[in-house]
Amino acid sequence: MKILMVLTSHDRLGDTGKKTGFWLEEFAAPYYVFKDAGAEVILASPLGGQPPLDPTSDAPDAQTAATERFRKDSAAQAALANTQVLADMRAEDYAAIFYPGGHGPLWDLAEDAHSIALIEAFQAADKPIAAVCHAPGVLRHTKGSDGQPLVKGKHVTGFTNSEEAAVQLTDIVPFLVEDMLQANGGLYSKDADWASYVVTDGNLLTGQNPASSEATAKALLARLA
């Protein structure tokens, strides 16, 4: 079983002069859920190579058992440093696709033609698509076979407006995940801020925030089973 994980290549937090990228826990926790289940995990990003790490996710108060495990795992670090180029990925080669969040995807993956086409190909092939925290933003321009937004009429979640306000980036991000999902016809729901919350609707699986990353990955494995 091969699972494709797609990470951002974007490292600039708007015009703030600060750095962003992918969120470490949202990569590490699912990565080990998949690896421990015996899956082969392939990593890709728009530019290939080392994806940028959001420095905030590397802070001491953001560490978890999964991130600590990653720090001691030279093989995982090497895999992350050498992600494949997203444009070279094909849906037929994988059982499922998973997008970790961080703010980076809002700028690049949400608008990336290769990512959009890949998600639509997974959908057409009836294969699971999972995204956590800000990564449901990658569904912004994806369409279903009927030409309607992929999330229209589907139960979804993602980083909440109140969580974005809590990290004081409401006016910095290009769009708010909660608002976008609702505007595209998604049946959006959420739990309390920072609580683990996962929504499954057929082959579409979404998690609300970093705390939801492990549970979203487990839900994806359950779907594949």
**Average pLDDT of the residues in 179-199:** 98
Q: Please give the backbone phi and psi of residue 106, each rounded to the nearest 5 degrees, phi first.
A: -65, -30
Distance CA(121)–CA(136), nearest Å, equals 17
Residue 220 CB-density burial (10 A; 0-12 exposed, 13-18 middle, 19+ buried): buried
**Average pLDDT of the residues in 59-63:** 94
Distance CA(87)–CA(2), nearest Å, equals 17
**Predicted model pTM:** 0.98
DSSP structure class, residue 89: -
At residue 224 the predicted structure's pLDDT band, cuts being 50, 70 and 90, is: very high
At residue 135, the 3 state secondary structure works out as helix
CATH assignment at residue 119: 3.40.50.880
Answer left, alpha or beta for residue 102, where phi above 0 means left and psi between -120 and 50 means alpha: left
**Average pLDDT of the residues in 110-122:** 98
At residue 50 the predicted structure's pLDDT band, cuts being 50, 70 and 90, is: very high
Distance CA(166)–CA(179), nearest Å, equals 16
What's residue 12's pLDDT? Answer: 97
Q: Which of 43, 205, 20 is nearest to 108 (CA)?
A: 20
Q: Count up the domains in the chain and report the number.
A: 1
Q: Both tokens of residue 142? A: 């994806």
**Residues 140, 184: contact at Cβ < 8 Å?**
yes
At residue 104 the predicted structure's pLDDT band, cuts being 50, 70 and 90, is: very high
What's the pLDDT tens digit per position in 164-182? 999 999 999 999 999 999 9
**Residues 137, 206: contact at Cβ < 8 Å?**
no
At residue 126, the 3 state secondary structure works out as coil
Residue 11 CB-density burial (10 A; 0-12 exposed, 13-18 middle, 19+ buried): buried
Distance CA(173)–CA(115), nearest Å, equals 19
Range of the domain at 20: 2-224
**Residues 49, 83: contact at Cβ < 8 Å?**
yes
Q: How many CA atoms lie less than 13 Å away from 38 in the CB half-sphere?
A: 3
